Amino acid sequence: MKGKLLFLALVWLAPLLGFAAEKSFSTNVNLLSASSPSIITPPAPVREFRAAWIATVGNSSWPSKSGLTTAQQKAELLAILDRAVVLKMNAVIFQVRPACDALYQSSIEPWSEYLTGVQGRAPSPYYDPLAFAITEAHKRGLELHAWFNPFRAHHFQATSPIANSHVSKAHPEWVRAYGKYLWLDPGEPAVRDYSLRVVMDVVKRYDVDGIHFDDYFYPYKETNAAGKDIDFPDYPSWKKFGASGNPSRDDWRRHNVDVFMEQVYFSIKAEKRWVKFGISPFGIWRPQNPPGIKGFDSYAEIFADSRRWLREGWCDYFTPQLYWGIAPPQTSFTTLFDWWSGENVKHRHVWPGMDSLKVGAKSKNGEVRPTSEIVNQIKVTRRFPDAGHVHWSVSALMKNSTLDNALAQEVYQQPALIPASPWLNSTSPPPPKLSGNFGKNSMHVHWQNGQGEPARWWLLQSREHGNWKTEILPASRTDAYLENAHPDAVSLRAVSRTGNLSSPEIWSPTPKSEK
């Protein structure tokens, strides 16, 4: 009876309370639609590896010359990193071992002469360029990959005396003079162990995001005064370690490099699984692969079975140096990129290298490569969901404003996360804890890392008038000010070292008019 009387009372009062109830209900619905995570879904971020090589050999990209002060060296390096940020790039590949020397504090190899002008002399005032570069890159949301040349022992452009601690003096039995260079002999097992130890020393002591090799394993052929090829002088190691097994000498050389590449990959994974290993071989494996391709035979000439390294999965990303244009059929960028992608049976990343230095420069036939060539090459790579590319070199981005403007306006409009590497780790990190408040002319959001694996980066997205804005922030950040913005939703996701995203943590501010 009481229930029936209550029902009748509510029916009688409803018209009188209707206006107030309608107003209250409407306000609550608006608040719910602005604050319920279940109905706010941030867009998927752009995924693309955008990197450039920072070459130190011969003072190519950095430092601009040897003997600069520590302050000058730091300023030049910061300018490079800042340019990468302005262009919305997300990685740099920093050459730290040009020729059995070190652009970092090493107990194994001497300081590089490209820093001070004298091999073995530390920077003064002292600093560690690799440690400095890592710290400053990470502050800016950039990955840093340490780039090594595994077997070159001395470069012809070097001008200072070889330090007593250099491998050519400590272990001359490992070193071969070849043309204008000195080379470690890959046929010596002790050499492979030595170079592996150098790489792993950096992996263990530095917070690098990747280890990178370029195309130098066995050297490119040198010629004598008569123009004839000089054979690499590895007969002693061949007789000692190869001849008895009856492979051809060429096959033995390829085998030596294969063994080394496999050792490097699995040694890195055993120490720090999240550290990516990238290889940048010559862009043509063998002529006629695919049909119609002509050019240098890296398999036969420098004993690089690069296709095998990709097919075996001995790398996390593969960066063939596709330094040609799209149009020429014998070396077409698109044709070669598609062929390499087809060889990617272990589903690693294929992020080709592009010769951005040629933009604006005359070729041998007098043609000038337009900026559209690089823009169009980037668009070619975007046919794959884990797109990426590397500019040769960062010098092009520091001196060519026309190229920079084209990149910024046509292909780098939005920031991009580096594609995930699920074979390394496919676990999503825990979502952060997010909150915020209004400032005078801005919104202040702040957060804490969730329980479990710390984030490597943060993906911050805010929605205003239906449009989403994306920022990628370093792990050290715990807050952000959204200046002159009045978003109705803010999303934050943790990004793991291998590129995995947490679920979004949504914060929807209550508008001032509804407080």
| Beta bridge partners of residue 467, listed in sequence order | 464
Place of tokens 């001497």: 110
Instruction: Examine the fold and report which residue of 357, 379, 411 is the final residue of a domain before the chain moves on.
Output: 411
Name the amino acid, one letter, at 85.
Answer: V
Q: Are residues 148 and 290 in the same domain?
A: yes
The verdict on 392 and 350 lying in the same domain is yes
Q: Which residue in the block uniquely carries the two structure tokens 């408040």?
A: 437
Residues 134 and 233 in one domain: yes
CATH assignment of the domain containing 258: 3.20.20.80
Provide the pLDDT for residue 451: 87
The phi and psi torsions of 114 (rounded to 5 degrees) equal -70, -10
Q: What is the CATH number of the domain that holds 472?
A: 2.60.40.10
Q: Kindly state the DSSP code that residue 147 receives in the 8-state scheme.
A: E
Q: Quick one: 406 and 470 in the same domain?
A: no
Residue whose pair of structure tokens reads 């003079």 in the numeric block: 177
**Can you tell me the distance from the alpha carbon of 472 to that of 461, in angstroms, rounded to the nearest whole number?**
9
* Domain assignment present for 328: yes
| Same domain assignment for residues 223 and 365 | yes
| Residue-level length of the chain | 515
Q: Contacts by 305-311 with C-beta closer than 8 Å and gap 24+?
A: 305/254, 305/257, 305/258, 306/279, 306/281, 306/282, 307/343, 308/258, 309/258, 309/261, 309/279, 309/281, 310/279, 310/340, 310/343, 310/344, 310/346, 310/348, 310/350, 311/343, 311/344, 311/345, 311/346
- Ranges of residues in the chain with a pLDDT under 70 are 1-38, 510-515
Q: What is the DSSP letter of 209?
A: S
Q: Is 485 found in the same domain as 394?
A: no
Closest CA to 26 of 444, 514, 374, 380: 514
Which of the listed residues 382, 411, 440 is the one where a domain comes to its end?
411
Domain-embedded: residue 306:
yes
Q: How do residues 85-99 score in pLDDT, each as one tens digit?
A: 999 999 999 999 999
Contacts with 18 (C-beta within 8 Å, 6 or more apart), sequence order: none
- Domain contains 262: yes
Asked if the structure places residue 373 within a domain, the reply is yes
385 shares a domain with 430: no
H-run or E-run covering 462: strand 457-464
Q: Is residue 29 part of a domain?
A: no
Neighbours of 338 (CB within 10 A): 15
Both 434 and 387 in a single domain?
A: no
pLDDT of residue 238: 96
Answer yes or no: is 16 within a domain.
Answer: no
Residue 91: which residues within 8 A CB-CB, separation 6 or more? 49, 50, 51, 142, 143, 144, 145, 209, 210, 418
| Residues 62, 197 within the same domain | yes
Question: In the chain, how long is the greatest CA-to-CA distance?
Answer: 116
Distance CA 280, CA 278 (A): 7
Number of helical (H) and strand (E) elements in the chain, helices listed first: 14, 21
Are 350 and 476 in a shared domain? no
Question: b/e per residue, 354-367, with b = 16+ CB within 10 A?
Answer: bbbbbbeeeeeeee
Which helix (H) or strand (E) element contains residue 77?
helix 70-86
Domain range for residue 132? 49-411
Please report the pLDDT score of residue 246 as a whole number: 74
Residues 389, 146: Cα–Cα separation, whole Å: 17
Boundary-marking domain end, from 383, 411, 439 = 411
Amino acid letter for position 269: K
Residue 358 to residue 374: CA distance in whole angstroms? 9
Of the candidates 57, 54, 212, 199, which has an alpha carbon nearest to the alpha carbon of residue 136? 54
CA separation for the pair 105, 98 (Å, rounded): 15
The helix/strand/coil state of 281 is: coil
In this structure, the answer to whether residues 389 and 483 fall within a common structural domain is no
| 348 inside domain | yes
How many domains, the chain? 2
260 phi and psi, to 5 degrees? Answer: -65, -45
Find, among 280, 322, 327, 326, the residue nearest to 304 by Cα: 280
> For residue 27, is it within any domain?
no
Give 254: exposed, middle or buried? Use CB within 10 Å, 0-12, 13-18, 19+. Answer: buried
Are residues 380 and 249 part of one domain?
yes
Q: How far is CA 344 from the centre of its chain?
A: 19
